[in-house]
Amino acid sequence: MNTLSYRLLNLILSLMMMVGSVYAIGYLQNHLMLDPCPLCIFQRIGLWVMGLFALLAAIINPRQKAVRLILWLGSMAGTLWGLGVAARHTWIHYVPSAEPPACGPGLEYWVQTMPMSEVLTTVLRGNGDCGLIDWTFMGLSIPAQALILFTVIALIQLVILNKILNNHR
């Protein structure tokens, strides 16, 4: 992996963000007409945060270890957020409770009428829409696919961290 530079790895993460966004918005949402549930939207936010920090790291390509670590932390925060939400969403799909979550009025209404901490709690509990498996690819639900994507991203993040800590360009 010595041939993969810090900049190239961050460009790969940025590309993964772009491809994931085109897949989610262009194909799943606009082509298949699948509306994203609140948990899906939160996963997209994690992907975008990760990708934006990775893109900044690739563009700036800082020499200072501290700057690289700050950019990595921002990117990793997005990755962990997306990974956690995707894991929770996958758990809602594959470990059904005795009582399915009730359908709520939707994320936009919640954001306008509730404090953000309550919105987060409500969304992470999952609503009825979040428990439905509308579409699968190779037997995997959309959140399970996102979980795999975020796991791969996290592994790349660990390679980047190793490069930062060992002062590899």
Is a pLDDT exceeding 50 seen at residue 1? no
For 61, 64, 93, 101, the CA distances from 86, given in Å and listed in that order, are 30, 33, 11, 17
Nearest CA among 39, 120, 121, 123 for reference residue 82 = 39
Is residue 32 helix, strand or coil?
coil
- pLDDT (mean) for 74-86: 97
Digit-coded pLDDT (tens) for 112-163: 888 888 877 776 666 556 777 888 899 999 999 999 999 999 999 999 999 9
Q: pTM here?
A: 0.84
Choice between 26 and 118, residue whose per-residue pLDDT is larger: 26
CB 146 within 8 A of CB 86: yes
Distance CA 26, CA 162 (A): 34
| Sequence-ordered alpha helix ranges (H) in 61-141 | 65-94, 107-113, 116-125, 128-131
84-120 residue pLDDT tens: 999 988 988 887 665 655 555 666 777 788 888 887 7
- Position with higher pLDDT, 165 vs 102: 165
23 vs 3, higher pLDDT: 23
For residue 137, the SS3 value is strand
Q: Identify the H or E element spanning 155.
A: helix 142-165
